[in-house]
Amino acid sequence: MDKSKKVILSIFLAAIALIGGGAALILDAFIRVPDFTTLRSKVVVPIRLADKTWIDREMGPRTAGWVGAKGISNAMFMAIIASEDTSFFSHQGIDYHELQESIKKDWEEKRWARGASTLTQQVIKNVYLSREKSLWRKFKELVWAQKIEKVLSKTEILTFYLNMAEWGPSIYGISEASQHYFGITPLEISAKQAAFLAMLVPSPIKYYTYFTKRFLTPFARARVGKILRVMQRMGFLEDKQYQLALEEKLWGVTGELIPFKENDSEPGEDPDSTGIIDVLTEPLLKVDESSSGQSVETSKTKVNEGGSQIPDVLKEPRLEAIPKATPLIDSEKVPTNSPSNDNSSLEPLNTN
């Protein structure tokens, strides 16, 4: 066999190997799926300590410090949805619109520039996959995110996320976060406190300085205000509740929050890195006919006209446990920041 034929044969065999290897990897992602039911008991999750070392920690309903859905305030659920995944209740693990926008931006900037992971994907990534950014890891994340939603309810996934998330140096889980930042239980978290905690999630170590200094920069104020605004537009907060949340005190300091401005950002920060502003201009709910038997699309105007509304209107049996859209802040009062476990402890809003 002459040299040219050997080269062609080598290229052909290499192509077959690549195709075969790729097919094997794809098959592996579909066949070797984790047992997601273990999330209902306990799993081992790697966590990062303040000294930047990593350790394994058991997390789940059967572990110490775990807080069930009924032990977390409605405000916290809604703030994390408004901040991280506005289509959480309508997608089946993947937000294809955000994924498309992410791919487009990454391609234009030739780097991993925009995140598009849903809350479901973040649970998959943090529990089952490495933190290395690669196309193969992303592919498995996408496949498994769709599969886990066929096993666990939306409420289970959301509750696990809040108990797993990193909120600061060596601060993991909503129980540790609520106690550390405000000296309260997760059930006592108000709308404004929830928005602040949700603001921390994309970069909890960097944003921790807002707490240590008890001061919010213009970027932080705008970001928290934006989360509250999205909560309002999605129907989770009424207009008066939104205004009360803006005026509520954090750490005994007044005037930290202002209504969001889209151009408020710090150097090097993408003011809308999670696509949070999309909900202000696009339909809130987009559900494929294949998922529920009917097409559902609810505009921000309809939600505002119809009052507080959560996407349990989809009437899926496994969404029945979704926290209802009860008032997050009393019309005339706001929760105190006392560490008391008495959830009825309220005091009039100080507007001075």
Q: Is 121 a domain residue?
A: yes
Q: Which residue has the higher pLDDT, 63 or 283?
A: 63
Strand partners of residue 213: none
pLDDT digits (tens, 9 = 90+) for 68-110: 999 999 999 999 999 999 999 999 999 888 777 777 766 666 6
Cα–Cα distance between 276 and 265 in angstroms, integer?
Answer: 14
Task: Identify the band that residue 275 occupies on the pLDDT scale cut at 50, 70 and 90.
Answer: very low
Residue 290: which domain range?
A: 36-348
Task: Look at residue 8 in the predicted model and tell me its pLDDT.
Answer: 46
Task: Look at residue 139 in the predicted model and tell me its pLDDT.
Answer: 87
Q: Which residue has the higher pLDDT, 251 or 91?
A: 91
Task: Identify the band that residue 237 occupies on the pLDDT scale cut at 50, 70 and 90.
Answer: very high
Q: Is 122 a domain residue?
A: yes
Which residues have a Cβ under 8 Å from the Cβ of 74 and sit 6 or more positions away?
323, 324, 325, 326, 328
Q: Is 8 a domain residue?
A: no
Tell the burial category of 130 from Cβ atoms under 10 Å away from its Cβ (0-12, 13-18, 19+).
Answer: exposed
CATH number, residue 193: 1.10.3810.10
Task: Look at residue 45 in the predicted model and tell me its pLDDT.
Answer: 93
Q: Is 144 a domain residue?
A: yes
User: What is the pLDDT of the chain when averaged over all its residues?
Assistant: 71
Q: Is 22 a domain residue?
A: no
Strand partners of residue 45: 57
Tell the burial category of 327 from Cβ atoms under 10 Å away from its Cβ (0-12, 13-18, 19+).
Answer: middle
Other CB atoms within a 10 A radius of the CB of residue 338 amount to: 13
* Total domains present in the chain: 1
Q: Is 27 a domain residue?
A: no
Q: Which residue has the higher pLDDT, 187 or 310?
A: 187
Task: Identify the band that residue 226 occupies on the pLDDT scale cut at 50, 70 and 90.
Answer: very high
Q: Which residue has the higher pLDDT, 109 or 273?
A: 109
* Residue 254 confidence (pLDDT) above 80: no
Q: Is 30 a domain residue?
A: no
pLDDT digits (tens, 9 = 90+) for 140-178: 999 999 999 999 999 999 999 999 999 999 999 999 999
The mean pLDDT value for 229-242 works out to 93
Task: Look at residue 309 in the predicted model and tell me its pLDDT.
Answer: 36
Q: Is 7 a domain residue?
A: no
* Residue 48 confidence (pLDDT) above 80: yes
